[in-house]
Amino acid sequence: MKNPAQIFLSLIFGFVFSLSPLFLQAAEITPFYTQNQSPLVQIYGLPFIGDPSLAPPGKADFRLIVDLASNFVDDSNPRESILLDGESTRISFDARYGIKKDWEIGVVIPYVAQSGGFLDGFIEGYHSLFGFPQGGRDQAPRNRLLYQYVKDGSERLKVDHSSSGLGDISLSGGWQIYGGKGQPSSLALRSSLKLPTGSSSDLHGSGSWDFSFWLVGSHDWQLLYGHLTLLGAAGLMGMTDGDVLESQQRNGVGFGSLGIGWSPARWITFKVQANGHTPFYKDSELRELNMSSIQLTIGGTLTFSEKISLDVGVTEDVIVKTSPDGVFHLALRGCF
């Protein structure tokens, strides 16, 4: 006998497939605009991978992006201890504009809030329902804010007060190498320069200048119902010395992404995307600092019109303790 979840999914797919051929038209499939929301990583300029198709000349692409992350790790070894317990909200305004054929410029303006939050009880219940380990979360004080790192008896990081403010602004550019909007395959070279505009003491920014460049591409297949798109990206980022764990900060990281999306109807897309990067810190035996990270975002896109759509996703840490174990992602997009 099918369980309720299987019955629910069967009803959804049955409804989608019963729609008329006119309704089953293609919807554009784009990547999730999110990255690692760890309080010790989101301060850097790790970029959203962006669309493989640039904005057309004279057209603008806007996104209002919200990432709500619940952080909890408590780890130690004979020389070090780290506690990251709190909630971060990152609200980003992402704007891109086609300045001429195959060229694009853009800006990302983030607003970051660190607090004790309100999600602890919900996350504990979610982990309990699906049998996920709590990792000590259920033994810690509810809705506490404390980010602390101690090495060799010296406290090198402590944030225990709520704050909110401007994050580190990024400027971006893009060049369409191949394809573009409406083409089955696209490839773009993108770049980003992150400025140290946020407060590093509050973990709104890193205090470093970060420069990134990366390739992002896609290929699309037409199916009996809708279409399927494979998305991928790979790049490098260099950073100047910042203010957060400055003696242990690395000055270069690699990053990449791989995702797939299926749009059975013009109003909806289902997406899965993995983002990854190499470590941002060194001289540590803790995986929270000196280990590569992979995050998996599952969700989709609701398309309201040709110009307006909404991404909805939930992100989990594939490599545990290297990113938050619960991030809720929303991105409202407008094209004009």
pTM of the model: 0.89
Instruction: Give me the pLDDT at residue 233, please.
Output: 98
Instruction: Give me the pLDDT at residue 133, please.
Output: 63
Instruction: Give me the pLDDT at residue 20, please.
Output: 39
For residue 137, the 8-state DSSP code is: G
Long-range contacts of 196-201 (CB under 8 A, 24+ apart): 196/168, 196/242, 197/166, 197/167, 197/168, 197/169, 198/43, 198/110, 198/112, 198/165, 198/166, 198/167, 198/168, 199/163, 199/165, 200/43, 200/242, 200/243, 200/244, 201/159, 201/243
Instruction: Give me the pLDDT at residue 21, please.
Output: 42
**CATH architecture entry for 26-335:** Beta Barrel (2.40)
Other beta carbons within 10 Å of 129: 8
Instruction: Give me the pLDDT at residue 129, please.
Output: 66
Q: In angstroms, how far is the first alpha carbon of the chain from the final one?
A: 49
Phi then psi for residue 2, to 5 deg, are: -70, 145
Q: What b/e string do you get for 183-211 counting C-beta neighbours within 10 Å, with b at 16 or more?
A: eeebbbebebebebebbbebbbbbbbbbe
Instruction: Give me the pLDDT at residue 138, please.
Output: 66
Positions in the chain whose pLDDT score sits under 50: 1-9, 11-13, 15-24
